[in-house]
Structure 1
Amino acid sequence: MKSILLGLVLLVGVNINSAKTVETPELLAAPHVHGPGCGFFPANKLRIPIRPTGQMNELQFKRVLQVVAQVYDPIFRQNGRPKLALFPRWTDDTVNAYAFICNEAKLIGTPNYPPECARMQTSPGIYSPISVVSMFGGLARHPLMTIEGLVLVACHEIGHHLAGYPRYRGNSEWAAVEGQSDYFATSKCARKVFKAIGSNAVWAQRAPVTFEVRNSCVNAFGVNSEASGICMRSAMAGLALARTLGSLKGDPKGINFPNVDKSIVGTTFEGHPAAQCRLDTYVAGATCRVPDTEDFNAADPRKGSCGPGKVESNGYRPRCWYRPPTAIGS
């Protein structure tokens, strides 16, 4: 199934070179750092070096991330965020991805400050903050990873910068918690990126999409539409990522769409939810019909989301990680 998904990216004419061209941000290649920010997975010691054959090659890896960067660089600027700096670290064998902000020029070159932050310097003596997303080849080479999954990882890391409420420890600036970044990945970011890539309805017709996903996406967005194709593509990417996470902790086979995590948290969980809970979040975001043009808000969880009190009947943030404010209930 994994190899079929990857092959379909090329087979159905999904040419990432044909995506709409916008001003291209820098795709940087600085030394590896296990940054001071938010990782896609919990810290782990798994390493996957470059191999002669694998699920994804370097060209695919860099082209996909190029599209993500093209789509989101203007969005960062429109939102008044520091410039997006996306680092495609193909040679790095780390099985993870990170997001953080560089905003302390005086710390550049000190032992504990990420080397990416040297890119804050725009000209001699002039520094500007940057929003960093570091993507590692080790994660791309994981046997359960897909190209669609790579899009979702990048979107999750972008979500730490842009996904709004809830944030870690109530901080109004940095960063969106893990569950919210997952929700953002499929409800906002992946929709924009897959629109730029295109041919989503064709992809959905040919890909081995599960019955549960196909049915949910058709109910939400109609038959054979680009929107339903994006929904299916996003949900199947979520399955690949949830199973990749599950493999770090044991057997991933039990992670699947029907096996919904029914746990309910007493307070919003800020760390990495369990693998099934993360899959449920990806599906919720993918099937939420609030448009990707309606942004999330840093203070009001109702903005940009599905929830009680709205016309939407599904796509709520799962309670396995999210506890709505009592006064709001969504």
Structure 2
Amino acid sequence: MKNWFLILLLFSTQAFAHLDEVVPFTAGSKLSRTRFRTVIQILKTRFAPLSQKDGRVLEFYTDYESDWAQGFARRWETDQVHIYGGLAAIPNVTEDSFALVVCHELGHLYAGTPYSDSHNRIAVEGQADYWATLRCFKEVVGELPKLTPSRNASELCKDEETCARALDAALVLTAFYADNRSIPHPKLSTPDTSVVTEVLKTHPEPQCRLDTYRAGLFGMKQPTCWMPWNI
């Protein structure tokens, strides 16, 4: 009985943030080990002070060799982010999209309410997505290798580079999430119009996640597809 309690405790105090389940996928061109580590180090250096202000330590645990396209965050003795190598090999991966993945994980630790686990202050999935573009990506994009944004993203962002790169990264990630569910890829032109009556604590639909990334980027309110504004 004690062992089962420990197992349940393990899974109740961490936030798996990407795949809904473990599924095979056709890997793209994987980021090199050096690029993988560099992106993580940039983000760790930038946001470790947030843990330090709380009297805590931010730690990253990584497994580049793993094909598991997953990451999670948790608060135990330290603030922890775990990243597996499959996330560096999703289709069309770039340093930008990988950074946005890591930003999401950090968002579970630093994005604030609403929480999925109030005791450990772990933000819900939607809030982690929102913070990833509201703050995190904007603060580190200047340290990432320069990428040329797509024409569509550039037009939507009126040629503002950080905005366009964030949108392109969000499109890469949410296309992958959609593939995981075997549904069409989200589009910037087809927002999710659903309205929840209580905060969604599980993974929003891929279109909702794209809308959330966009809302954070432009400083808009969180979308009603996961955040109720009428209660």
TMscore range, shorter length: 0.7 to 0.9
Is 1:195 the counterpart of 2:142? The answer is yes
The residue aligned with 1:83 is 57
Is 1:131 the counterpart of 2:108? The answer is no
SS of alignment partner, residue 38 of structure 1: strand
Aligned partners of 1:186 and 1:286 also within 8 Å: yes
Give the number of the structure whose residues are more often helix, by fraction.
2
The residue aligned with 2:129 is 182
CA drift at 1:144 = 3.8
Normalised by the size of structure 2, how large is the TM-score?
0.86
Is 1:62 the counterpart of 2:37? The answer is yes
The residue aligned with 1:322 is 227
Shift in CA distance, 198/247, structure 1 to aligned 2, threshold 3 Å: closer
**Aligned residue type for 1:239:** L
Aligned partners of 1:268 and 1:324 also within 8 Å: no
Is 1:214 the counterpart of 2:154? The answer is yes
Q: After superposition, where does 1:253-292 map in structure 2 within 5 Å?
A: 253=185, 255-288=186-219
Q: Matches of 1:319 and 1:71 in 2, distance apart?
A: 30
**Aligned residue type for 1:86:** F
CA drift at 1:173 = 4.2
Q: Matches of 1:215 and 1:280 in 2, distance apart?
A: 17
CA drift at 1:82 = 2.1
The residue aligned with 2:7 is none
Gaps of 5+ in 1: 1-33, 103-128, 289-314
Shift in CA distance, 73/264, structure 1 to aligned 2, threshold 3 Å: same
SS of alignment partner, residue 224 of structure 2: coil
Aligned partners of 1:44 and 1:95 also within 8 Å: no
CA drift at 1:160 = 0.7
SS of alignment partner, residue 122 of structure 2: coil
CA drift at 1:172 = 5.8
Q: Matches of 2:122 and 2:67 in 1, distance apart?
A: 26
Is 1:232 the counterpart of 2:178? The answer is no
Q: Which has the larger radius of gyration?
A: 1
**Aligned residue type for 1:277:** C
Shift in CA distance, 68/197, structure 1 to aligned 2, threshold 3 Å: same
Q: Matches of 2:25 and 2:66 in 1, distance apart?
A: 8
Listed one character per residue, the Cα deviations across residues 68-95 of structure 1 (whole Å, up to 9, x for unaligned) are 11111123213x1521101221011211
Instruction: Count residues in correspondence.
Output: 221
**Aligned residue type for 1:208:** S
CA drift at 1:47 = 4.9
Shift in CA distance, 267/81, structure 1 to aligned 2, threshold 3 Å: farther
SS of alignment partner, residue 113 of structure 2: coil
Aligned partners of 2:50 and 2:110 also within 8 Å: no
SS of alignment partner, residue 67 of structure 2: coil
Aligned partners of 1:65 and 1:151 also within 8 Å: yes
Is 1:241 the counterpart of 2:173? The answer is yes
> Percent same amino acid among aligned pairs?
27
Q: After superposition, where does 1:46-125 map in structure 2 within 5 Å?
A: 46-47=23-24, 54-78=29-53, 80=54, 82-102=56-76
Is 1:41 the counterpart of 2:18? The answer is yes
Gaps of 5+ in 2: 1-9
Aligned partners of 1:37 and 1:101 also within 8 Å: yes
**Aligned residue type for 2:212:** T
What CA RMSD, in Å, does the superposition of the two structures yield over aligned residues? 2.3
Shift in CA distance, 93/47, structure 1 to aligned 2, threshold 3 Å: farther
Shift in CA distance, 271/55, structure 1 to aligned 2, threshold 3 Å: same
Aligned partners of 1:144 and 1:241 also within 8 Å: no
**Aligned residue type for 1:187:** L
Q: Matches of 1:318 and 1:214 in 2, distance apart?
A: 23
Listed one character per residue, the Cα deviations across residues 162-212 of structure 1 (whole Å, up to 9, x for unaligned) are 10111116x26421100000000000111111133375xxx4xx33241xx
